[in-house]
A and B are shown apart, each in its own frame.
Chain A
Amino acid sequence: MIMRPVIQVSAVRKTYGPTVAVDEVSFEVNDGEIFGLIGPNGAGKTTTMECIEGLRRPDRGAISVLGLDPFRDVYELQERIGVQLQQAQLQKRIKVWEAVDLWASLYRKKAIDGERLLEQLGLIDKRNAWFMTLSGGQKQRLFIALALINNPEVVFLDELTTGLDPQSRRAIWDLVRDIRERGKTVFLTTHLMEEAERLCDRVAIIEHGRIIDIDSPKNLVNRHCPERTIVLATDDRTAEGRFRAVPQVEEVICSNSLFTIRGRGDDLVTAVIHCLSENRIRVTDFRTILPNLEDVFIKLTGHSIRD
């Protein structure tokens, strides 16, 4: 697959009065990938996204989306992208089909079939319902419909699942994967590490308006959190010494018959299992604890994303 960047952001800076919202932000988003901008609330995610969408003008730096300047060519750009905004609403008493119908009429090129879109998004039963009567998940699905109605090349999703229950959240994740399957590029922001980990091909971690690192979730974890932890239970008296003898093991903590074994690298788990079978150590419990993006975030920033 040839990687062709559809979004290029270089050295963008945006201030609101004395507050620097985004500073020296640079990254590229490739064609056909789901790219996530992740960070805590107030980190500059929405500002960055709205600069790319042409809704805000950066103080400095350059942005190119599909070869267009988002601010100068904003109407041309709007024809080719689909947007879902954080915490947006529609008119309380607009009907679902009316919103889709209005949006479909706003674009030069022919919109895709709104009825089919509502069907795919599970909203067809709600086509005559007023916006104010929809649940949180239904509202977000409608916003996804509006973001897709012009068959866009790039779709922007800002905090798509915030405030949704876990079940709706999973349903929305499936929909976002479907968008990628249709060959579109997805640019999303989230402060949910699980969401980023499950959905994104690549993520950029942003804090205090600056990008800390960019890579696939797996590579980020391997780079910043190579530690692996195994928790196992055994009554074998000889076990502790044998675990310590495994080269990849760095630390063994034993409390009663529960062992916590720490080490680094992907080989740790194999090495410990090998040690168990070679010495015929009988275990009654065995778990591995793998680091995730959450741990990467803590490692890089010194605090949890929720703090």
Chain B
Amino acid sequence: MLRGLWKLTWLELKIFLREPLGALGTIIIPVLVFIVAGRILGRGPAPNTLAAGSFVRVGLPVLASVMIAISAVLSLVTIISIYREGGILKRLRATPLRPYTILTAQVLTKLALTVATLALMVLAGKRYYPVGVHAPVFGFTIALLISTWSILSIGFLIASIVPTARFAQPVGAFILYPMIAVSGLFVPVESLSPSLHAVARVVPLTYAVSLLEGIWKGDAWGPHMGDVAALAVVFIVCTALSAKVFRWE
């Protein structure tokens, strides 16, 4: 049932932007990091070595996008825990609102913020990024939405298990950020040691990075359907698990 969904989503967006650090932390900082890091690396002593050049052209934009997705997820985890602790979830549930409508509104809010941040990054990148980038923006946006959607389900699982709002952000960061290390962004997954390779295979971020890198470089979607399927599996498994363990109060 969609009654209330758009209104709640719109309201949550407005409320989020009223947070003093909300817009700054989630939207401005990732974009700034992206631009500044790009300029430093792009102007370094050997800007044209193959590795550095490729990182500035592909790695950094994808890293920034992954950071956008993760910060959206951390923000979701935090908000869900605060809403639960404050009895807001319970208050919303004591209405004709369906439980999944309440949670879907949060997901939509985060996806909208992800797209807004990405748009800002692309715009800022056109003006200030050291190397010209010709990536398919629309396809990349879709890829980032799919990735974020999938990782958000991990966020729900984390939000289901953290005991208090105070732990939500650190626990979420502790689980999500290390995933970047093995995701193939810095070191190709194939060249990892066998044990780390095994870890990388089960870390959802690996598939997100593979998808994002591919689409950014201009790959067709066909070869990346495996990544999309893996992200879908993550979404289904995490959603099913959190449906079992999610606590409303």
Please give, as numbers and ranges, the residues of chain A lying within 8 Å of B98 by CB-CB distance: 75
Please give, as numbers and ranges, the residues of chain B lying within 8 Å of A92 by CB-CB distance: 15
Binds B, one of A100-108, A184-192, A196-204, A228-236: A100-108
Separation in Å of the A105 CB from the closest CB of chain B?
A: 5
A94 near B15 (CB under 8 angstroms)? yes
With the chains together, A225 CA to B27 CA distance in Å?
Answer: 67
B91 near A78 (CB under 8 angstroms)? no
Give per-residue flags for A77-94: 1 if the beta carbon is below 8 A from chain B beta carbons, else 0: 011000101011111111
A85 near B96 (CB under 8 angstroms)? no
With the chains together, A89 CA to B15 CA distance in Å?
Answer: 15
B94 near A105 (CB under 8 angstroms)? no
With the chains together, A93 CA to B83 CA distance in Å?
Answer: 12
Separation in Å of the B118 CB from the closest CB of chain A?
A: 25
Pick from A53, A87, A89, A102: contact of B7, CB under 8 Å: A102
B96 near A108 (CB under 8 angstroms)? yes
A78 near B94 (CB under 8 angstroms)? yes
- Would A106 and B91 be within 8 Å (CB), given that A89-B86, A93-B19 are in contact? no
Let me know if B112 is at the binding interface, CB within 8 A.
no
Let me know if A55 is at the binding interface, CB within 8 A.
yes
With the chains together, A93 CA to B12 CA distance in Å?
Answer: 10
Please give, as numbers and ranges, the residues of chain A lying within 8 Å of B93 by CB-CB distance: 55
- Would A88 and B90 be within 8 Å (CB), given that A78-B96, A79-B96 are in contact? yes
A85 near B91 (CB under 8 angstroms)? yes
B96 near A107 (CB under 8 angstroms)? yes
With the chains together, A294 CA to B90 CA distance in Å?
Answer: 32
Let me know if A115 is at the binding interface, CB within 8 A.
no
Question: Number of contacts between A and B (CB, 8 Å)?
Answer: 60
With both beta carbons as reference points, the residue of chain A lying nearest to B88 in the complex is identified as A89
Give per-residue flags for A273-303: 1 if the beta carbon is below 8 A from chain B beta carbons, else 0: 0000000000000000000000000000000
Pick from B11, B15, B94: contact of A85, CB under 8 Å: B94
- Would A88 and B96 be within 8 Å (CB), given that A98-B11, A102-B4, A106-B4 are in contact? no
Let me know if B162 is at the binding interface, CB within 8 A.
no
Please give, as numbers and ranges, the residues of chain A lying within 8 Å of B87 by CB-CB distance: 85, 87-89
Q: How many residues of A contact B (CB 8 A)?
A: 24
Separation in Å of the A23 CB from the closest CB of chain B?
A: 22
Please give, as numbers and ranges, the residues of chain B lying within 8 Å of A87 by CB-CB distance: 87
Let me know if B8 is at the binding interface, CB within 8 A.
yes
With the chains together, A78 CA to B94 CA distance in Å?
Answer: 7
- Would A106 and B94 be within 8 Å (CB), given that A88-B87, A94-B15 are in contact? no
Pick from A89, A91, A106: contact of B95, CB under 8 Å: A106
Separation in Å of the A18 CB from the closest CB of chain B?
A: 20
Let me know if B3 is at the binding interface, CB within 8 A.
yes
- Would A94 and B11 be within 8 Å (CB), given that A85-B87, A89-B87 are in contact? yes
Separation in Å of the B246 CB from the closest CB of chain A?
A: 15
Give per-residue flags for A94-128: 1 if the beta carbon is below 8 A from chain B beta carbons, else 0: 10001001110111100000000000000000000
Which B residues from 1 to 27 make CB contacts under 8 A with A?
3-4, 7-8, 11-12, 14-15, 18-19
With both beta carbons as reference points, the residue of chain B lying nearest to A93 in the complex is identified as B18
With the chains together, A130 CA to B19 CA distance in Å?
Answer: 12
Please give, as numbers and ranges, the residues of chain A lying within 8 Å of B14 by CB-CB distance: 98
Let me know if B97 is at the binding interface, CB within 8 A.
yes
Please give, as numbers and ranges, the residues of chain B lying within 8 Å of A98 by CB-CB distance: 11, 14
B90 near A105 (CB under 8 angstroms)? no
With both beta carbons as reference points, the residue of chain A lying nearest to B14 in the complex is identified as A98
Pick from A85, A103, A108: contact of B90, CB under 8 Å: A85
B15 near A106 (CB under 8 angstroms)? no
Please give, as numbers and ranges, the residues of chain A lying within 8 Å of B11 by CB-CB distance: 91, 94, 98, 102
- Would A75 and B94 be within 8 Å (CB), given that A85-B87, A106-B3 are in contact? no
Please give, as numbers and ranges, the residues of chain B lying within 8 Å of A75 by CB-CB distance: 96, 98
Give per-residue flags for A53-73: 1 if the beta carbon is below 8 A from chain B beta carbons, else 0: 101000000000000000000
Separation in Å of the A204 CB from the closest CB of chain B?
A: 22
Give per-residue flags for B71-92: 1 if the beta carbon is below 8 A from chain A beta carbons, else 0: 0000000000001001110110
Pick from B4, B12, B88, B90: contact of A55, CB under 8 Å: B90
Please give, as numbers and ranges, the residues of chain A lying within 8 Å of B97 by CB-CB distance: 106
- Would A91 and B94 be within 8 Å (CB), given that A105-B4, A105-B7, A106-B4 are in contact? no
28 inter-chain pairs at a CB distance below 8 angstroms, sorted by A residue, are A53-B94, A55-B94, A75-B96, A75-B98, A78-B94, A79-B96, A83-B94, A83-B95, A85-B91, A88-B90, A89-B86, A89-B91, A90-B91, A91-B11, A92-B15, A93-B15, A94-B11, A94-B15, A98-B11, A98-B14, A101-B7, A102-B8, A105-B7, A106-B4, A106-B95, A106-B96, A106-B97, A108-B3
Residues in chain A within 8 A of chain B (CB atoms): 53, 55, 75, 78-79, 83, 85, 87-94, 98, 101-103, 105-108, 130
